[in-house]
Amino acid sequence: MDKKLTNAYQSLTEKYLAGGVHYNFQNPFEVQRIHFREGKGTRIYDLDGNEYIDFFCKFGANILGHNYGSYISELQSALKYVTATSLAYNEYEVSQKICELIPSADRVRYCLSGTEAVQNAIRLARAYTGKKKFLRFNMHYHGSADNIMGGISDDIADPTPHPFHGDTRGTQGRANNVLESQSYLIDWNDEEKLENLLQRKGNEIAAIITEPICVNGQVKFSKSGYLEKVRQLCTKYNILLIFDEVITGFRISLGGAQKYLGIMPDITVLGKALAGGTLPLSAVVGKKDIMDLYTKNKVVHANTFNGYTLGLTAAKATLEILSSNEDVYKYMESQFIKITGAFQQEAKKYNFNINILGHPTCSAFDCSSWDENDRFDSKTLNTVLSRTMLEEGILLSNTTTFYSNISITDDDIELFKSRLPNVFNAAVAKIEKLK
């Protein structure tokens, strides 16, 4: 691929954009920073006109595909009406729809990012229970705020998180002692460890926050019965269960992962696909008695662009499209099963053993082996393969994560298949150099 214009533009960008990128950990385009000009469906094009298959989907936010007709039309129409008010004409419709679709939603409050919504959910839980700490799990991601990003816990008896050198989700400049003072951090899927901690510390913990499907930990489901146990223990110890469905909400199903798994949280955080991936919008939803803390002015929630008109328009259009055809999720899943199946089949020709993890709307791959005599660790193989896919015009998220959208066509699948031989030939060549 010729990337003359893309490379030149990046050089100009770095003069003014700090770091040359908008987010600086696990950047899917870290090898070559690519600036895109336009898109249609599952295809996007860089400044040089090179064509890419988009399985990045803006970290899963773009569930409709690029330039989706009716979605764009609704946004364009909305620009003709009021756009900069605190209260506007489309709040009722969107809020009602969310409450109809998400099992845990009696009431809604809107934010702009997953990070903001998570912090509001924790604030609600603290206010409701009168307790101050929260519990989270290793490998789960809940935004970039000081009190919840990164860290490690060493002491099983007292699993208090603390910063550590080399933490890819850590940061300098964090508020002093904020990790240590606010939360506990333990392994997911360990019932015994969870129950032991709650027996000792349950009277301190206001909330347990979890991804119902651990997308940020390579799209892993919980062990059978684990989330049910978490739900049971939360009720027992007067702890609110928060589902972080920023990724899984409206992606796994119309009712999110909670509907798919049949587990009812007390509070849910939504984002990304909620507004179709074009405009920023997130939401905190929950049971009426919890959410009423906002209306009683006991919990403050203030932001200039809370519930802004264009964001709600984007959400309305997205939810209308997703709910207008009951087969839209089945279609998206079936198309992506074809994609991952072709990927695995081609991989076998080159001695790659590839496991597909997660759900067809949100999958990750993992290379478990290369050769009986020359074994490479999974991380090395994953990195090599994901980089060669990028070089061949296949975009992924967070190294090995695929996101699908409802616009994937049979032609997209055939284009993907046609690029796979070059992907694996290039990957093999790189691995040979590592031997």
Statement to judge: residues 82 and 160 lie in one domain: yes
Statement to judge: residues 334 and 251 lie in one domain: no
Statement to judge: residues 62 and 75 lie in one domain: no
- Quick one: average pLDDT of 266-271? 98
| pLDDT of 23 | 72
Better-predicted residue by pLDDT, 228 or 380: 228
- Its domain, for residue 272, covers 69-324
pLDDT tens figures, 35-61:
899 999 999 999 999 999 999 999 999
| pLDDT of 242 | 98
Query: Among 5-14, 239-248, 262-271, whose mean pLDDT is lowest?
Result: 5-14
- Quick one: average pLDDT of 351-378? 81
- Quick one: average pLDDT of 136-148? 95
Q: How many percent of the chain have pLDDT more than 70?
A: 96
| pLDDT of 32 | 64
Judge whether residue 369 has pLDDT over 70: no
| pLDDT of 28 | 46
Question: Tokens for 284?
Answer: 């905190």
Statement to judge: residues 288 and 344 lie in one domain: no
- Quick one: average pLDDT of 93-102? 97
CATH number for the domain that contains residue 160: 3.40.640.10
| pLDDT of 376 | 66
pLDDT tens figures, 100-134:
999 999 999 999 999 999 999 999 999 999 999 99
Judge whether residue 29 has pLDDT over 60: no
Query: Among 50-54, 282-286, 426-430, whose mean pLDDT is lowest?
Result: 426-430
CB neighbours of residue 342 within 10 Å: 15
Q: Give CA torsion, residues 279, 149, 140, 300, to 10 deg.
A: -60
Statement to judge: residues 341 and 292 lie in one domain: no
Hey, what amino acid is at 211? Answer: E
Q: What's the total number of domains in the chain? A: 2
Question: Tokens for 275?
Answer: 């507004």
- pTM for the model stands at 0.94
Statement to judge: residues 209 and 284 lie in one domain: yes
Residue after which a domain boundary falls, among 281, 304, 324: 324
CATH number for the domain that contains residue 17: 3.90.1150.10
pLDDT tens figures, 168-185:
888 889 999 999 999 999
Using 50, 70 and 90 to split pLDDT, how confident is the model at 415? Answer: very high
Residue after which a domain boundary falls, among 324, 354, 370: 324
Statement to judge: residues 63 and 74 lie in one domain: no
Statement to judge: residues 377 and 271 lie in one domain: no
Statement to judge: residues 55 and 75 lie in one domain: no
Statement to judge: residues 353 and 413 lie in one domain: yes
Statement to judge: residues 307 and 191 lie in one domain: yes
Q: How many percent of the chain have pLDDT more than 90?
A: 74
Statement to judge: residues 222 and 301 lie in one domain: yes
pLDDT tens figures, 185-240:
999 999 999 999 999 999 999 999 999 999 988 899 999 999 999 999 999 999 99
- Quick one: average pLDDT of 240-252? 97
Residue after which a domain boundary falls, among 324, 358, 379: 324
Judge whether residue 283 has pLDDT over 90: yes
From CA 321, how far away is CA 88, in angstroms rounded?
Answer: 22
